A and B are shown apart, each in its own frame.
Chain A
Amino acid sequence: MRKKFIWLITLVIFWFGAASWLYAHKLEIKITPLPSVVMVEAGYSGHKHGLSGGDVFIYAPRDSEKAFQTGKTDAKGKFAFIPDQAGDWRVAVDDGTGHKSEQILSLGEDFFLQKPTVPGSGESHPPEQARDVEKEKASKESEAAPSQAQVPLVWKALVGVSLVFGIAGILYGAKARKKSG
């Protein structure tokens, strides 16, 4: 009985301990449109530092095959590019170990009408003119049905664990029945 109790306590501690980490391993990107330049910041959720040396792929509107620009994030996980046309720009970041994140950024014509900000000039331009289509699309989709990207990681983990236990249970039942029969 005591051993079972210790097991139960260990399992509960492990489960809740793990749950606090579960959100932490996802690769996330943040896109900030500045006047004439778009800045991409990549990093793991839950981390203060960015992903350094991550592979960045920028795809121009109407050209999803050939990358407009490729490169690597700097030591702080940042990468910048200069778009040359309005439309939906696809930004993908890959850390090279199986984690990838992608976003679509919609740039309007007004983005190209702004003057570049001179550092220290005191001028600033609000970045609101560039809409994050992914978020808009996601919020629209969430009204109908949650997409896979929206499902929290902890729920995915629970689904996976449930499926694994379910498969094991079915196999156990089938084997036990075969053995007894």
Chain B
Amino acid sequence: MHIADGILSTEMAAAADAVSVGALYVFGKRARTEEIPKMGIMAAALFVVSLIHFPVAGTSVHLGLFGLAGILLGFRAVPVVFTALLFQSLLFQHGGLLSLGVNVINMSAGAVAAYFLWRIRPVPEALRAFLCGFVGIIVPALLMAVEFELSGYGRGIYYLMSIYVIAAGAEGILSAMIIGFFRKVDPRILPKYPVIKEKK
């Protein structure tokens, strides 16, 4: 899912870099002292988890944990995703440095979507956790496909979505298991966000 350098236009990549650095500043600056250790652990987890992969239809997809980051950190997931992707790019060559901004926006969008989904309380927690994990992969994959189309690569990339649906399903199950584990072991790990309820 990481976009390498030279695939998207330089203008698009540079604009995305500027936006991602701005988001890093805005959401990182407001982080409270007690949030930082959790952000550090989550960034390390995101960084390493991209190495855990499974084969799907002749290719290989890896975990992302963007949905889990969104659940646990909300908008603080943006600087966490930025840090994890930066080191993935530098150490594993997953995605390029110039296209880092695009990758950060794509994957942070998945985390932020998961954050909003997590706040819809009438839905059971396990199902919400599953859906958060699912959108944490599907949203970045969709954005990537749109960016490829905008850059003139056609719509072929949309066919890859079926692979990402499988990956998103696996991620959803993993997220549900992790949230269930946190609920059982120490519910204080799960943040208490303002609830989004349906208007009656």
Once the chains bind, are A167 and B33 in contact (CB under 8 Å)?
A: no
The answer, yes or no, to whether A106 is at the interface (CB within 8 Å) is no
- A interface secondary structure, majority: helix
CB-defined contacts of B19 to chain A, threshold 8 Å: none
The docked-state distance in angstroms from the alpha carbon of A3 to that of B88 is: 31
- With A159-B91, A160-B87 in contact, is A168–B37 under 8 Å at CB? yes
Contact B33 A164 (CB under 8 A): no
Total contacts A-B at CB 8 Å: 107
The chain A residues found within 8 Å of chain B, CB to CB, are: 3, 6-7, 10, 18, 21-22, 24-25, 44, 47, 49, 51-53, 75, 94-95, 97-100, 153, 156-157, 159-161, 163-165, 167-169, 171-172, 175-176, 179
A–B complex contacts, Cβ < 8 Å, 25 sampled: A7-B186, A21-B51, A22-B51, A25-B52, A51-B58, A52-B59, A95-B59, A98-B4, A98-B93, A98-B94, A98-B95, A99-B93, A100-B93, A153-B51, A160-B47, A160-B87, A160-B88, A160-B92, A161-B44, A161-B47, A164-B84, A168-B43, A169-B40, A171-B31, A172-B40
Enumerate chain B residues within 8 angstroms of A94, measured Cβ to Cβ: 4
Contact B185 A7 (CB under 8 A): yes
Known: A98-B96, A156-B91, A159-B91. 6 other contacts (CB 8 A): A7-B185, A10-B181, A18-B48, A161-B48, A165-B44, A168-B39
Residues of B participating in the A interface, judged by any CB pair closer than 8 Å? 1-4, 31-33, 36-37, 39-41, 43-44, 47-53, 55, 58-60, 62, 83-84, 87-88, 90-96, 181, 185-186
Determine which of B2, B83, B92 lies in contact with A164 in the assembled complex, contact meaning CB atoms within 8 Å.
B83
Residues of A contacting B48 in the complex (Cβ-Cβ under 8 angstroms): 18, 22, 157, 160-161
